[in-house]
Each structure stands twice: as C-alpha cells, then as structure tokens.
Amino acid sequence: MAIRAGIGLSTAKDHIQAVKEALSEARRNIYKDKFDLAIVFSSIEFAHPGTLKTIGNLLGDIPIIGCSSLAIISQDGVFKHGLIIMLLSLSPDTSINVAHVKDITAETIVDAGKLLGERLLGPLKDVRRNLSVIFSDGLIQDCSGLLSGLQEKLGISFPLIGASASDNLSFQKTYLYFNQEIFDNGACGILLSGKLNFGLGTKHGWKPLGKPRQVTKSMGNIVAEIDAAPAVKIYEEYFAKDLAELKNDLKQISILYPIGIYLPGEEEYLLRNLSSIEEDGSLVLQGSVPQDCQIRLMIGTKESCLNATHQAVEEVKKGLLGRPADLVLIFDSVSRYILLGRQAAQELQIIKEGLGKNTPIIGIYTYGEQAPLRATSYLGKTYFHNQTVTILGLGG
Amino acid sequence: MLNSENLFNILGMAGMVTIISLATILTWKIQRLKQLQSLTDKLKRSLDEMDEQAKLIVRTDMELNKTQEELDKKVAGLYALQRLSRAISTTLEKNQIFKRMDAGYLEDIGFEKALAFLWSRQEKKFIPCLNIGYAEDEIKTINFYIDSNQALYLNLIKNEKTVSSISLDATAKENLKRIFAVRSFVVSPILPKEEDEGFLFVGTENIDTVITEGDEELITILSNQLGQALENARLFEKTWQAQQNLEKRVEERTSELTLALEEVKKISKRKTDFVSSVSHELRTPLTSIKGYASILISGKLGALPEEARQRIEKINHHSDELAQLVNDLLDISRIESGRIAMNQEPQDLKIIADDAVDLLSMQLKEKQITLNTDMPAESYLVWTDKSQLERVFINLIGNAIKFTPPKGIINIGCHKVNNRVQVDITDTGCGIPSEAQEAIFEEFYRVDNPINQQVKGTGLGLTLVKHIIEAHKGRIWVKSKVGQGSTFSFTLPLRS
C-alpha cells in the first residue's frame, strides 16, 4: 500500500475544538505515527488563521494544504458546516513537494502559474513526476492563465487536477491553506513522484442544444461577439429575456445553461459558466474562450448530472487498473451542488458504491475545476472546467 | 491549304464540341449547385427550426427548474420548521425556547439572521431574547432603534399580521433593511394568550434570496409555535409555582407534626419509664406483704383467730391481684420501650389456641358456655413468641367468657388472608358501644357496663394484647353491636 489515509471531521462551532476533534479522529483512522501531508478543507466559518495555527501546532512540521468550500464531503456525507482533515502517509518510494504563490493579478497570472510550477518541481526536478493537485482562489476571474503557466513548466500532457476554492456563495472571499498560512488571491499545490497508481475521472453530463455558433470576438474570458452579434444575444434569444431580466436570473442561467466549447478530438464539450453580463452585451465567463471556436448552449438535468458521476467513477476505476483506491479526492462543482439540491448526497453515494464503501473520501465544492478532458489517457490535456465532478482515486 | 482548312475545320469542330461539353457541364454544375443550395437551405431551415425548438425547450426547462427550486425550498423549509417546532415545543422553560432555535434550522428555512424581542409591561421596553447572526453591539443599536419606535412595533403586534420585504411599502422596507442590516426579511408577531407578546424577525443578506408569500406563511407558523411554546411555559411555570407552594406547605405541616410526634414520643417514654420504675418499686413491698401474709396463713407463727385469718386471706388475694396489675404494667412498658424481646419461633396456632382453651375450661364449665373452635385441619405455622401469644388468647377468650351470659356461645375461627392468618374470637355477650370500640385498647379504659361494675379488672388486658400483636407486626380490631356480641380479630404473619 503506497498511501495510507486517515480522515477526521468535526462540526464543532469553536474552531480550536473542531481542529482537536478532527485531528484526533484522523490520527485514530490512519494507524500510523508518521505523516507526510495533511489536506485540510473547511466551510467558510473555519477559514480562520487560528485554525491553521492550531493544526500546525498539533502536527509539527508536516506540510498542510487545502482550501475553503461551500460544503465539505467525506465518506460520511456532505456537511454544510465543518472542518475535515486528511492525514497522508506515503510509502518510502513516493516523494512529495508542496508550494504556493500569492498576489496573483490578471496580468501576472501566467507567470504565477510558471512560478508555482517551478516551485513544485524544486527538489523533484530530476525524478519521474506522476501527478499534481492544485488549489486556487475561486474568485480569480480566469484561471486558464494559471493553468497554462503551470503546464509550461510541468508539461501539457502531465496529469494535473485542480480546484478553485469556494465560499458560502456570497462570492466575497475564498481562502487557501498552506502550512500555517491562510491567504486569498493565490494558489498552492502538491507534486507527487515515484511509484503511484491513480485513476482520474472528469465528467459534467451537460448536453449541447440548438445550433452551433461561432465566437467571432473574444479576449481571455470575455466573449464580445458570437456570430458577429453581441454575445448576450445568444441568451436573449434562447430565454426571450432582455439584458436586465437576464441579469436578474443570472445565477440560475449560469448554473443550468452554460456555454459549451467544442474542442476537436475531445470527447466532451468544455463548459464555461456565465459570471456576468457587461452593458455592451459581452459575456464574462469563468475561464477563457478562444476566438473563432465553435460553441453551443448546454443543458443539464439532475439525471444527466448523476449519470456523468457514474461515468467519472468508471474512468477512475479504469485508471486504477482494477486495483482498489486507498483514498478518493473529489472536486465537485458548486453548480452541481445547487442543481442537485437535496440529491447531493446521492452523488456521493454513487462514488462510494463505485470506489468502495470504506475507502476514505475527502472532497470540496468548487468554483472551477482543472482536469484532463479525456481523463483515461495520459495524453489528455488539462483544461479549466466548470460544472464537472473531478474524482481522483489514489492507490498503491 | 487543304490541310490548313481541314485543320481549321477540325479545330472548329473540336471547339464546338468543347463549348457544347462545357456548356453541358456548366448547366449540370449549375443544376447541382442549385440542388446543393436547396439542400443547404433545407438544412439551414431545419437547423433554424431545431434552434427554435431548442429555445422552447430551454424556456420550459427554466420554468420547470424554477418551480422545482421553489418546491425544494418549500420542502426544505417545512422539514426545518417541523424539526424546529419539535425542538421548541418539547421544552417548558421560557429561556430554553429561544436557545433551541439553532442557526442550522434557520439556514434551512433560508435565513441566516434572526432576532426576537418580547415586550416587558413592567419596564415598558422591548427585551431581546433571541440572537442569530448579530454581534452584541449590533443588537444594542437595533434595540435602541426599536425602543425609539415602540409604537410601530407594538402596532405590528396589535395588528397580528406578518410583514416582509415584499409586503411593506418602500420607505418602511428600506428603513427596516437599514436597521437590521439585511437585504430581505420577514417580521411576524409572537402572540401568546397572556403576557410575553413580541415579534420575530428573520432576514438574509443574500442577494439571490427572493422572499415569497410561502416564506411569510412559514415564518408566521414559526412565530405561532413560539407563542404557543411561551404560553405553555407560562402555564407550566404557574402550575409549578402552585405545586411548589403546596409542597412547601406540606413540608411545613409535616415538620410541625414531626415535632409534635417527637414530643408525644418523649412524653410516652417518660410515662413508660415512670410506670416501669413505679411498678418495680411497688413489686418489692408487695412481695414482702404477700410473703408475710402467706406465713401468717400457714400458721407457722401460731394459729390465727378466724376473723384475723379471713382478713389475712383477703390481704393475700388482693396482693395477688395487685401483683398481676403490676406485672401487666411492667410488661406493657417493656414492650413499649422494646426491652422485652419477642422470642419468635415457628408455632402451630391451633396448639396455642387449644392450650389457652384448656386453661380456661373451668370458667367455661361454670357458666355453661359452649366454645366452638373452627380451625382448619392443616396447621397454620406462625412466627411467634409462644407464651406471649398464649396471653393474647387467654385475655381475649377470658374477656369473652366474662361478658358472655351463662349458656352463651363462643366461636374461635381462623382463615388465611394473603400471607397472614386472621383469628376471630366471637362471643354472644353484651357487646361494645361503637364509640368505645377503639378506646378499649387504651390503658385503664373500661367500658361502662353492668358486668364491669360487678367484675373487677385492671383495664390493661386489651392494651397488653394490642402491644403483643403489634410487636409481632400484626393488627387487632373489634367489631361489635350492643346486645348482640363482639368479634375480636387479629392478624399474624404466616411463616413463609
């Protein structure tokens, strides 16, 4: 067994009490004295410097990494309020390195990605790298830049998955955890090397609807024109609403009807949520949209969402080559959480049924995900996604 | 020339053929193009039609999703309300009612802030009793605003109507939004039947929350539940207070009675001690008197004149009676003070009864009284001191003989009652008046009847019997009618 994981969860209101409870449970569950990494996820009320300080004080020099989330996922369920800690113990032939970057701006985002990539490579430059997991501030408008910077250093086909931190849907501030530090406007990540067996699955389940259209003018994550008309027209036509009405229903439209980018050679459309609509009719999307690409309006249902989860689980199993997962990491889009509502637990149930009822599971709801589109292939290129469930199964 | 003419002709022909072929191809191409154009138009039309259908699908889907979302919200709200109602209705403590309104429940209903104020009639101000989502200083400010506009909030309570950010006019709405620092809100009066009226405020800062009539209904139900819970708490408090007062009074009375009982016990002990010491003191001279009288009667000191001998015999007889009286008194005081140990052993009740009857057979014969013993063949083993129980039988049968006229009947019977045996001694004597039936067991009490006036008695026999029975953890009583006879009954525990 290459990796041993112990999970502890607490919903105690006091953050120090919560850390103590979660950590003692995680220690009990790992059956090891030595740990190599602690992954920490929490709902927004635990995003407090005291939380990280307490964890640091109790764990010593163990690297800590994680972020805030709308809700946290464990094998025991989905918790709107709580703190979850996963302690990891790696086999001697596996190495790990953690790094972070701060103060990212729209102008420096690609460079920040490169810097994070360099820092992650650090001591692992000369060994075979297997996998990287990245967390970034969920309010960074276009995370695609960070990804391209990272890919420049780590390789385009390098298996990389990531999550954009979330808050309680107020979109005010999301937090990243790195060792004893808590910060926003940055990113942090883990790079794993050595003997590692893992499976990745990323699916969304949204289907294209209506006729294909072409992006005729775009820059980064802002689409100005579609079919040589103001981009907002696509939504105005489909929903028979004017700009003001669309702005009123923005949240619902963004979750249920994203834009799907057609990528030649890829199995699925790449989804982009609508962040806002500019007065000139430009659409601000969560993630970049290349000019001249073909797009479609996408539609999803609870059923298609859960079917996609099934498919993602199957891909993880394929990647693990029949071996069981020692731990499962889930990055699930907040859009899916809202769409599924009371059925959110059903999605977790599907993952548990597919990957083992007793397998330690830890996860978050994200404002964006990074994962290879054709996840079963090592050659799959990592993209910035919206609306997906990204599942990572790690085994020996 | 010919060659060149032919060449021209051939070329002309070829040119013609080429032109015709080109024209044919062109015509075919144009036709093909037209066909393609028509196909493209058809495809475009289909695509446009499909797009129109897609628009319909999207609009319907959006409506469905909105309805579903509203439905989900209502279901989640109702679930939360049900849990919250259960939580607040299961307490009867006023302080606990609001403490049980957890932030989690409120969040499920769709709000993250809540306040409740109750109107204090004595202090003439609103008292905060619930706070979810506000800092202490924020509450102070809000409380100040509310008390500055008391009439507005008292009116809200008086009108018994829930208001919200969708039902209030713009000015009032903006005012409340500013005071309570929220974007949407619902305010509902809390109306118990008596006292503690107030209002519940719930609100959210979430820009996406749209208050609906459903929300107003939900919060109205919640505030009604709070009103009911407060009313229940008040009634419980009232009942509890009354019970407390009652318990206090019972306690006071019990304590008074305990003191009185202690006093009685002290007096009784003093009496017992007195009787005991006096009896002892009496016994010594009595023994001497009886001893000397016996010596004189025996003639050892010389023959006595007849008259003197008669007097001495009387002294001897009365000394015996006095000795009996003193012994009875001593026994009573010993039993009362617990100084006499009941030597309890398993004894056959019938044997003891028969022994007593044997002892009294002469008296029965003298008065020609018929004595029937109706005791079952199987023996009743009782845990008793044989000699003491014999005294009980002798006393009760002796009394029956004493008060039964000649040729009367005495019946002795016994039967089992649960784990006890009950003995009944019935006579056909003169009977005991009902007012004396309890007193006969008291010391020195003698019923005022002709027989008692003729026959002497100490008035201690039944007292002694009662003491012995009670020392055996039994009970004694009498049922009697004047002129018809009496039944003395006592119980004794059976040997298990």
- A-B C-beta contacts closer than 8 Å: 54
Provide the β-strand partners of residue B118: B127, B198
Name the percent of chain A lying above pLDDT 70.
Answer: 97
List of chain A residues whose C-beta atoms are within 8 Å of the C-beta of residue B69: 252, 341
Burial of A200 by CB count in 10 Å (0-12 exposed, 13-18 middle, 19+ buried)? buried
Secondary structure of residue B341 in the 3-state scheme:
coil
The amino acid occupying position B299 is G
* CA separation for the pair B484, B478 (Å, rounded): 13
Give, for all 496 residues of chain B, the pLDDT tens digit. 557 788 888 888 898 899 999 999 999 999 999 999 999 999 988 888 998 999 999 999 988 888 887 888 888 888 888 888 888 888 888 878 888 888 888 888 888 899 999 998 888 899 998 999 898 888 999 999 998 888 888 888 888 889 999 888 888 889 889 999 998 999 999 988 877 789 999 999 877 777 888 889 889 999 998 888 888 888 888 898 999 999 999 999 999 999 999 999 888 888 878 877 787 788 788 888 888 888 888 888 888 888 888 888 888 888 887 887 788 777 777 777 766 677 788 888 888 888 889 989 988 999 999 999 888 767 678 888 888 899 899 999 999 998 899 999 999 999 888 888 999 999 998 889 988 888 888 877 777 777 777 766 777 888 889 989 988 889 999 999 988 899 999 998 887 6
The amino acid occupying position A125 is K
B46: distance to nearest CA of chain A, Å?
10
The arrangement of secondary structure in B89-241, i.e. its CATH architecture, is 2-Layer Sandwich (3.30)
- Per DSSP, B263 falls in state H
Strand B409-417 with B370-374, pairing: parallel
Token pair of B287 as six digits? 């023994």
Burial of B225 by CB count in 10 Å (0-12 exposed, 13-18 middle, 19+ buried)? buried
Contact B208 A297 (CB under 8 A): no
Look up tokens 């599924």; give the residue.
A340
From the list A211, A251, A297, the residue facing B58 with the nearest CB is A297
Question: DSSP letters of B55-82?
Answer: HHHHHHHHHHHHHHHHHHHHHHHHHHHH
Contact B54 A253 (CB under 8 A): no
Give CA separation, A395 vs A4, A233, A312, in Å.
9, 48, 17
Contact A249 B62 (CB under 8 A): yes
Question: E strands, B138-218, where?
Answer: 163-164, 184-190, 198-204
Indicate the domain borders of chain B: 89-241, 342-493
CATH superfamily for B342-493 is Histidine kinase-like ATPase, C-terminal domain (3.30.565.10)
ipTM above 0.90, yes or no: no
Which residue intervals of A60-156 are DSSP H helices? 109-121, 144-154
Provide the β-strand partners of residue B119: B126
User: What are the backbone dihedrals phi and psi of residue A364, each rounded to the nearest 5 degrees, phi first?
Assistant: -140, 165
List of chain A residues whose C-beta atoms are within 8 Å of the C-beta of residue B76: 341-342
Contact B54 A211 (CB under 8 A): yes
CA nearest B208 in A: which residue?
A251
From the list B51, B72, B206, the residue facing A210 with the nearest CB is B51
**pLDDT tens digits, A275-301:** 899 999 999 998 889 999 999 999 988
From the list A237, A249, A342, the residue facing B55 with the nearest CB is A237
Mutate to test the interface with A, among B40, B51, B58 (most CBs of A within 10 A): B58
Return the H-helix or E-strand segment holding B391: helix B386-403
State the average pLDDT for chain A: 90
List of chain B residues whose C-beta atoms are within 8 Å of the C-beta of residue A299: 57-58, 61
Look up tokens 């109702």; give the residue.
B78
Look up tokens 């003698």; give the residue.
B446
CA–centroid distance for B52 within its chain: 72
CA nearest A300 in B: which residue?
B61
List of chain A residues whose C-beta atoms are within 8 Å of the C-beta of residue B62: 239, 249, 252-253, 256-257
Token pair of A302 as six digits? 């609870």
Helix axes B2-89, B213-298, angle to 10 degrees: 30
Using left for φ > 0, alpha for ψ between -120 and 50, and beta otherwise, residue A240 falls in left
What's the whole-model pTM score? 0.64
From the list A81, A169, A252, the residue facing B65 with the nearest CB is A252
